[in-house]
Structures are given as structure tokens and as C-alpha cells.
Structure 1
Amino acid sequence: MRHGRRLAVDVGEARIGVASSDPDGLLATPVETVPGRDAAAAQRRLSELVAEYEPVEVVVGLPRSLNGGEGPAAARVRAFAQETARRIAPVPVRLVDERLSTVGAARAMRASGVSAKKGRARIDQAAAVVILQTALDSERSSGRPPGQCVEVVV
């Protein structure tokens, strides 16, 4: 397992959840929810978080259908990840499968007694935690970085 903090991003149309790991890559925790309607402002805030947390990489959840296909949401996330990679280089950005992360996060929040209305602002953070924890666990078990690295296009 590589040493260093990671950030994870759950990109939605309205909001972007952000989570962080500890430097040993053991535990993912929520950071904040960034408004996502203004893509430029969201990218600026994400760049600020990268400067603040100094991660070894940023993990972006890639939404796929249950059969592994990609639709318009995945194309939007790929474009977001490409722009993020360009802005925060040389920090690498990795795309990881996020199937069911929001569903799992919503289920966990409901189980802990958080109502859907109150949890809306936190669900994206919780989904980012699920994405990051899954990536950390995958790397720990396989010995390889998760997902695919986003190439920086200048």
C-alpha cells in the first residue's frame, strides 16, 4: 500500500461530494459537499482542497450501469476528471468504478437515522467516502493502484 493521503470525489449534477483518507490509507472520512452547478467554481474549490490536503492522488467515481456500460453521466464525469487532472497536475487523478456508491451511502445514512431531507447535503460526501474506502481496500488487497489514471491533455 502506497503511503499518503488520498481525496475522492463523487461528481453529481447539483453537488460534488469530497472525502479524504488518513496518510496510511486505512480510513476514508467525509470532507465537504461542493456546489456542482458552476463547474468552474467547483474546479476552483477542488483545487483549493488539493492544495490544503496535499494528496498523493485524487480518486474520481465513474458512474457505470450495472452491466458495466457508460452513459451520459459517465461522459460528464470523464470530462470533469480530465479538467481536474489538468488543473492539479502533477497530482494524479484516477477514475474508479462507483456502481451503487450513492445507493449504499443512502442506505447507511437511513440505517443510522438520518432522514432523506436532512441527508441530501451529506449524501454526496457519504458516497465519496464509499468510493474512497472501496479504492483503498482494493489497493490494499491487490497491491495495485485502483482504477485507471487520467492522462493530462494540455
Structure 2
Amino acid sequence: MTRPFGPEAGTAGVARGARLGVDVGKARIGLAASDPDGLVATPVETVPRVLGGEGRTADVARIAAEVDERLAAVVYVGLPRHLSGAEGAATQDARGFAARLAAAVAPVPVRVVDERMSTVAAHAQLRAAGRKTKSHRPVIDQAAAVIILQSALDVERAAGTRAGELVEAPTP
């Protein structure tokens, strides 16, 4: 099976295919995926973060394997901006991770999308579902990744184009 990169297969002007959502944290990375039609985001797993690594670290390799397994059409990485919209250290960390991921999954496009308040919203959703705050840690990153991905899917449907900003893979 080949990956659909052009708009020819999509009903909203974007190619059909699974999408992945990534919530990059200092200790863990949440991963979510959509169905091939891009309707619903669901949690996949929490990947341990490898700090200080360059290139294809274990966390990047795990996500790249998921991209291959699902024949993903695009990967959305959350960009944690300040409420004002300004970028800080966490934003630069997410951009750096997204660039390493883009190099690992090319030619699958990686795009960064605004994720302000996704973790706060994820905590609220878990509390509303009756989960105790102590039990949030193992799944909070996945829940945030679902929110990031679902927001991107909503933009795709509304605008008929991919959400966010395309990440250029670094050249060796």
C-alpha cells in the first residue's frame, strides 16, 4: 500500500490516511492517531523521552515506527506557546524534536500546531471522566496528544488543508 500525499484522495481537500498527534514533554511523549479518514483521534501510547540525544533516538525511532505501521499521511507535533502567543524554551524544544522527527519519517510531512492549554484541557477531561488526579500521569500525555490531533483534524475539515506549519527536516 502506498501513502497518499496529494489532495486527490481526501474529501476535505487533503489526502486520505491516518494522522498522528504528538505531545512532546520533558519526560514523556504522548502519541495519538486518527482513522484513515481523519475523523476521530484516539490515544496510542506514552513514549519515554530521550533528553539530550541527537538524530534518531529511541523516542524518535518509536514514533517513526508508528508512522510506518499506520502508513500515516502526516504527523502533527504540538507547539507549546505562552498564552500571549510568544515562544519560549519549551517551544524551541518541541521545534527541535519535530525537526529530528521530520528527518526520521521523511517523506511523510511533519507539521507543528499550536497546543496552548492542551494539557490543562486533558486534565479537565480526565477529571470529568471520573479519573482521580493521581491516575492522570500515565495517560495525560496521550490525552493531550488526542486534543492536539483532534484540533488539527477539525482545522483540516474546516479549511480543507493541513493544519499548522510544515517542519523542514534538517539536512545532514
TM-score normalized by the length of structure 2: 0.87
Aligned-pair Cα RMSD in Å:
1.0
Larger radius of gyration: 2
Q: Which runs of 5+ in 2 are unaligned?
A: 1-11
Q: Which structure carries more helix by proportion? A: 1
State how 1:18-57 maps to structure 2 within 5 Å: 18-38=31-51, 39=53, 40-57=57-74
Q: Which runs of 5+ in 1 are unaligned?
A: none
* 1:137 and 2:154 correspond: yes
SS at match of 1:13: coil
Residue in structure 2 matching 1:6, options 9, 13, 19: 19
State how 1:79-90 maps to structure 2 within 5 Å: 79-90=96-107
Summarize deviations over 1:92-127 as a string: whole Å, max 9, x none: 000000000110011000111111221211000000
Shift of 1:37: 3.6
Aligned length: 154
* 1:114 and 2:131 correspond: yes
* 1:105 and 2:118 correspond: no
* 1:153 and 2:146 correspond: no
Summarize deviations over 1:22-81 as a string: whole Å, max 9, x none: 111110000000011455111111111111111001000000011100000000000000
SS at match of 1:91: coil
Deviating runs (4+, > 6 A) in structure 1? none
Identity %: 54
SS at match of 2:169: coil
